[in-house]
Structure 1
Amino acid sequence: MTIDNNTATSPSSFNELGLITPLLARLTDLQYQQPTPIQAQTIPNILAGRDLIAGANTGSGKTATFALPLLQQLFNEKSSGQACSNASKKGNYVAGLVLVPTRELATQVADSVRSYAAHLNGAVKTVAVFGGVSTNKQMLALRGGTDILVATPGRLLDLISSNAIKLDHVKTLVLDEADRMLSLGFTEEISALLAMMPKQKQTLLFSATFPEQVKALTTELLSDPVEVQVQSAEASTLVQRVFTVNKGQKTVSLAHLIKENQWRQVLVFVNSKSGCAHLASKLAKHDITAEVFHGDQGQGARNRVLQAFKGGEIEVLIATDIAARGLDIEKLPVVFNFDLPRSPADYMHRIGRSGRAGEIGLALSLIDYEDYHHFKIIEKKNKFRLEREEIAGFEIDESLIDPDFSVNKPVVPPAGSGKKKRAKKASKSESTIYQDIWSGSLKSDYE
């Protein structure tokens, strides 16, 4: 069964979803007014025991979608005396397993689950395990087993090898951001973990994109699943813009925009760990203090930087794609693509750090002529098209552009350049594309 939010009739309140009173009371505490489209369409199906494939924009309320019914199922079992009694005798059971791709997402999901369970009187135990920190505390937390385990695949395998936990009593498996886990190379780890779980279980798969690897996984794992594709209405609160700049002027353009708009909380994405430090050093010359966030940092350092950024103590955070998933920063006003992401899917996850939960957000990309073709691919894959704009005072210097990118004239290089023959072969559509990039008609009215 496939559900599309454009045609489906969805419940308009949490009271209509079949949730128990303690969970509804907690949602009231949190001032959740009404379910998001993905919550409305999937929670009743999950409570009914159905397998699920769900695709939705980031920031659409996905965690509550699986956390609320999972908490309800486990709480009801314990209240009725079932209480995973057989599993608890083993001492290291897991009833509900949530697999995530990053440490930050593991922490965030576990914190959200505990928050939703606030009125369940401690009946449902939740533990998060992930790499980058000592296993000792995690092993202690797992003593006696756990009802809900949120884990990254690698660390979970480490704990299983140490006999700290077993997966033979898993009743519900959640694969959160499945596409990201597979793209990060967790295919073998996931296969190994699946082999340790019962064949009969409920499986919930969430993925922003559905490449072939994810499609193969759904075919292998899920039984007669409900399929939900949601394009959240909240996505309209995020404004996307792309600015063309001269090669070598991205840093000065970035600094100008930050200062001109007096932004006090800006997340900037680059493609490498070394690029983080390099950009931070260059911004310092413009009197902008920035911190970095990447995988070479210890988990303690990452946590400190992230908390400082969330708390407004850091003005600019420069990060690799490790921050593109799992970071939930309330009311983050601006996200920049300083470097374009290598994967078109990661573009959506990057910009999804802003404009969350209905808040107004701004996602900006800086491109020079070498980025243009890749940005066209990003647009095509994600099915959108943005006007190319220029920043007042930083207009494109056409004399510095490769002749193949000249505007308002045929793509013909200067005499003697050796490129004339190649230029003549440029297609009409190619010429039109180049004109679209640098055409004065696309200049921004930004002041």
Structure 2
Amino acid sequence: MSFDTLGLSPALLRALNEHGYTDPTPVQLAAIPVVLAGSDLMAGAQTGTGKTAAFALPMLERLYPAGQRAVSSRKPRALVLTPTRELAAQVQESVRNYGKHLNARSITVFGGVGMGPQIDALRRGVDILVATPGRLLDHMQRRSVDLSAIEIVVLDEADRMLDMGFLPSMKRVLGALPRERQTLLFSATFSAEIKALASQFMRDPQEIQIARPNSVAATVTHRVHPVDQEFKRDLLLHLLERSGGQTLVFGRTKHGCDKLARLLEKAGLRAAAIHGNKSQNQRTRALSDFKTGRVNVLVATDIAARGLDIDQLPMVINFELPMVAEDYVHRIGRTGRAGAEGLAISLVCRAEEGQLRDIRKLLKQDLAIVPVEGFEPTQPPRLDAPVGANRPTKSRAQQHARRPHAQQNRGNGEHAAGNRKRRGQHTKPASRNI
């Protein structure tokens, strides 16, 4: 099937054609007719499946039937709630692209920037409002936004909004909307909390599931490189030196991401960090630099990276495994998108063996364990050991005896290649392990 068969107006089809979109994805095929029919919808779909268009296209069709604005109003008629500023900006960009021939009026409101321009835009009038929960509540408290005319509300990446603690905010927003409305919920997983939210605020929603819960794209190759914790940075540099492409690296903490990005820059790589403590301008600039190739390595926390829309990202590296197994799925969703091949590498030390087992159990598949020559761990992860089991430790003297040069230079910004050369390691082609 093509977009021509889904009941969209010529103005929308023209915009799709101009952007090179001809064939709808499975989630678009399933969701668009449901939304056009006016039904509430719960859609299970991973990032990278085309879910933004799955709600944006029929939403625009309903607001602008036959390419015309049906109602003359200055109040927002559609609301899209997203968990992060980055995702809000990307949804807004998609709405603007799809609605370019409709003169669609849309704005974003999110934190990290001044409220003045947002208030002015709301006063001028808008049809589609894309917002993060916290900033939207700020506007509601100031009475600078009127939600009484909302006809359609979209909860995008609802599972992540719950993970980030937005459930009370979501309930406050939904409770302030007109009862007669269409509610669309998109989520990678349907937890008990999400089902409870749906039962409270949705009316007989239709449910579609495009991929099984917690699944990853079949085009992604998973690879685990076991390594001692103290040599993770050296191994990361070794991999990045040989990759040559854009790489997204995941860290666990904001401070750790900043520290890692500085280390990579000192080693001669073009790197930037993105996390919640960065200002909106810093985050926007880092993402733009990464997309345009001015930055080759983007180091991110889970929350900051959620919703990043990066085409043709060949590789994701987990410098540290996430504490929650489901976050592995969200991380890996950055690569292997739209049928492209992707590589997901995890640097795993002995202390992370429990997290690795949880990930394998969640995915219901084995992950290839591939030691890298010269970085073989003294204490490899034990995948058959119970989580939290006692593990032998080694003395600091043993650590120094293992790789003295790397230990002396670890984290000081000196290029790791010199250390490896002195050890006489890594003389084989990089393609062996990448």
TM-score w.r.t. structure 1 length? Answer: 0.82
The answer to whether residue 9 in structure 2 is matched with residue 20 in structure 1 is yes
State the 1:257 CA deviation.
1.0
The aligned residue for residue 361 of structure 2 is 380
Q: Is the 1:102–1:326 contact (alpha carbons within 8 Å) kept by the matching residues of 2?
A: yes
What amino acid maps onto 1:348 in structure 2? V
State the 1:264 CA deviation.
3.2
State the 1:402 CA deviation.
9.1
Distance 2:52 2:391 in 1: 54
Seen in structure 2, the aligned counterparts of structure 1 residues 115 and 82 have a Cα distance that, compared at 3 Å, is closer
The aligned residue for residue 101 of structure 1 is 83
Distance 1:290 1:25 in 2: 38
Task: Map Cα deviations across residues 43-70 of structure 1 (whole Å, 9 max, x no partner).
Answer: 0111001110011121000000000000
2:286 to 278, 294, 305: 305
1:73 to 40, 62, 68: 62
Partner SS for 1:143:
helix
Partner SS for 1:150:
strand
Distance 2:88 2:262 in 1: 31
CA RMSD of aligned residues (A): 2.5
The answer to whether residue 304 in structure 2 is matched with residue 323 in structure 1 is yes
Task: Map Cα deviations across residues 376-422 of structure 1 (whole Å, 9 max, x no partner).
Answer: 1122223332121111332233xx5699999xxxx9979xxxxxxxx
Partner SS for 1:105:
helix
1:145 to 122, 125, 132: 125
Structure 2, unpaired ranges of 5+: 394-430
State the 1:37 CA deviation.
0.5
2:41 to 52, 64, 88: 52
Seen in structure 2, the aligned counterparts of structure 1 residues 303 and 149 have a Cα distance that, compared at 3 Å, is same
- Tell which deviates more after alignment, 96-105 or 316-325: 316-325
What amino acid maps onto 1:159 in structure 2? H
State the 1:163 CA deviation.
1.9
- Tell which deviates more after alignment, 30-39 or 58-67: 30-39
- Tell which deviates more after alignment, 274-283 or 187-196: 274-283
The aligned residue for residue 259 of structure 2 is 278
Partner SS for 2:329:
helix
The aligned residue for residue 191 of structure 2 is 211
Distance 1:202 1:378 in 2: 36
1:29 to 18, 24, 27: 18
The aligned residue for residue 134 of structure 1 is 114
State the 1:167 CA deviation.
1.2
Task: Map Cα deviations across residues 226-247 of structure 1 (whole Å, 9 max, x no partner).
Answer: 1110129992232222211123
Aligned residue-pair number: 391
Partner SS for 2:183:
strand
The answer to whether residue 200 in structure 2 is matched with residue 227 in structure 1 is no
Q: Is the 1:234–1:356 contact (alpha carbons within 8 Å) kept by the matching residues of 2?
A: no
Distance 1:76 1:260 in 2: 52
State the 1:35 CA deviation.
0.7
Partner SS for 1:97:
strand
- In the TM superposition, what are the counterparts of 1:25-424 in structure 2 within 5 Å? 25-76=14-65, 79=68, 82-83=70-71, 85=72, 88=73, 91=74, 93-120=75-102, 122=103, 124-231=104-211, 235-261=217-243, 263-284=244-265, 286-397=267-378, 400=379
Distance 1:248 1:27 in 2: 50
Q: Is the 2:273–2:300 contact (alpha carbons within 8 Å) kept by the matching residues of 1?
A: yes
Seen in structure 2, the aligned counterparts of structure 1 residues 36 and 313 have a Cα distance that, compared at 3 Å, is same
Distance 2:57 2:186 in 1: 15
State the 1:28 CA deviation.
1.2
Q: Is the 1:324–1:346 contact (alpha carbons within 8 Å) kept by the matching residues of 2?
A: no
